[in-house]
Amino acid sequence: MPKANREFLKAYEWTELDQHTTDQQKGLPRPELQKPIPPNAQLIDLIPPEEFSLGTTQVIDVILRRASHRRFNQEALTLEELSFLLWASQGVREMDTEDGITYVMRTVPSGGNRHPMETYLSIHRVAGIENGLYRYLPLDHQLVLEKSDPDLPERVKQGSLNQNSGSAAQPYFFIKEAAVVFIWSAIPYRSEWRYHVAAARLIALDAGHICQNLYTAAGAIGAGICAVGAFDQIKMNEVLGVDGEDEFVIYMAPVGKIPG
Ligand SMILES: Cc1cc2nc3c(=O)[nH]c(=O)nc-3n(C[C@H](O)[C@H](O)[C@H](O)COP(=O)(O)O)c2cc1C
């Protein structure tokens, strides 16, 4: 059987014979739970989960209709819908402090509860929110404006390899046409602190859980979503302004309303 380069498997090695001492075992401080909020940042309050009036669709109906969508209509998402999607995919469901340490439980599982992902949004059509690049603050259930950039939808489209679902004559760039594009970055140290090299595997698994919850939440509000793993790593890191080493783009998902 022909083989591609499988160097990446080295990053998955994690055995009982493993000689690595993790930073947690060395007593180094626990990494931050969320990237800090820059001073004078523009913040947007989201609708808190206890006020949600949506998301009551039967789970069986959501699962039966689960599919990837690459065609969206022009309807904007409401602030409540966006709040729901963010909370369902990365939100906090419980927070406890013991001996001065805060433990945060989320709506998605994560290897060792490390939660190495940050959620960025390229907002194109959300009622009441100006278009731009935002980041979700799960601990505060707020959005922080990262940058306003009128070229952002085009840059995200190019960063995701100009994927389209139309014909050669009439390409439909579904990522640019989405109401919002979720762009997840990984901060590997949050997981490496506990798992050293095995973090590579756990981070990839975590990303899948996040996107799956987003499929479920989108299905519950009649929105369409498509997982996107094919993108230009360097271009997408540039879109977010991350260094590609301590933080890098790992997964994306355009979301928008679909004809009912
Ligand atoms: C890890 C992963 C990466 C994917 N990347 C892309 C992508 O870059 N572009 C795309 O159009 N679909 C992408 N998809 C969606 C798959 O093509 C889709 O799930 C598959 O064709 C099955 O269709 P369904 O989701 O409607 O059942 C991806 C799905 C997964 C799970």
Residue 94 lies in a domain: yes
- Contact residues for 53 (Cβ-Cβ < 8 A; gap 6+): 80
Residue 135 lies in a domain: yes
What is the rounded distance in angstroms from the CA atom of residue 32 to the CA atom of residue 160?
Answer: 29
Q: What pLDDT shows up at residue 210?
A: 98
Q: What is the pLDDT confidence band of residue 6, given thresholds at 50, 70 and 90? A: confident
117-123/101-106 β-pairing? unpaired
What is the rounded distance in angstroms from the CA atom of residue 215 to the CA atom of residue 178?
Answer: 14
Query: 228 CA distance to ligand 1 centroid (A)?
Result: 6
Q: What is the pLDDT confidence band of residue 16, given thresholds at 50, 70 and 90? A: low
Q: Is the pLDDT of residue 17 over 70?
A: no
Give how many domains the chain has, as a whole number: 1
Query: 165 CA distance to ligand 1 centroid (A)?
Result: 12
Residue 38 lies in a domain: no
Q: Is residue 154 within 8 Å of residue 160, measured between CB atoms?
A: no
Q: What is the pLDDT confidence band of residue 7, given thresholds at 50, 70 and 90? A: confident
List residues near ligand 1 (CB under 6 A).
67-68, 70, 163, 226-230
Atom of ligand 1 nearest to the CA of 67: 26
Query: 227 CA distance to ligand 1 centroid (A)?
Result: 5
Q: Is the pLDDT of residue 14 over 80?
A: no
Residue 25 lies in a domain: no
Q: Is residue 242 within 8 Å of residue 207, measured between CB atoms?
A: no
Q: What pLDDT shows up at residue 9?
A: 82
- Contact residues for 109 (Cβ-Cβ < 8 A; gap 6+): 206, 209
Residue 2 lies in a domain: no
pLDDT, average across residues 93-107: 92
Element (H, E) at 104: strand 101-106
Best probe residue, ligand 1, of 228, 232, 249 (max atoms within 8 Å of C-beta): 228
Residue 10 lies in a domain: no
Which of 93-102, 136-145, 215-224, 244-253 shows the lowest mean pLDDT across its residues? 93-102
What stretches of 152-213 adopt beta strand conformation (E)? 180-186
Q: How confident is the model over 107-131, as pLDDT tens digits?
A: 999 999 999 999 999 999 999 999 9
Q: What pLDDT shows up at residue 204?
A: 96
What is the rounded distance in angstroms from the CA atom of residue 81 to the CA atom of residue 49?
Answer: 11
Domain extent for 198: 43-257
Best probe residue, ligand 1, of 66, 68, 164, 182 (max atoms within 8 Å of C-beta): 68
Q: What is the pLDDT confidence band of residue 100, given thresholds at 50, 70 and 90? A: confident
What is the rounded distance in angstroms from the CA atom of residue 24 to the CA atom of residue 172?
Answer: 48
Q: Is the pLDDT of residue 18 over 80?
A: no
Residue 73 lies in a domain: yes
CATH of the domain at 152: 3.40.109.10
- Contact residues for 238 (Cβ-Cβ < 8 A; gap 6+): 159
What is the rounded distance in angstroms from the CA atom of residue 204 to the CA atom of residue 32?
Answer: 20
Q: Is the pLDDT of residue 211 over 90?
A: yes
Q: What pLDDT shows up at residue 35?
A: 97
* HSE (side-chain half, CA atoms, 13 Å) at 152: 24
Q: What is the pLDDT confidence band of residue 27, given thresholds at 50, 70 and 90? A: very high
Query: 122 CA distance to ligand 1 centroid (A)?
Result: 20
Residue 37 lies in a domain: no
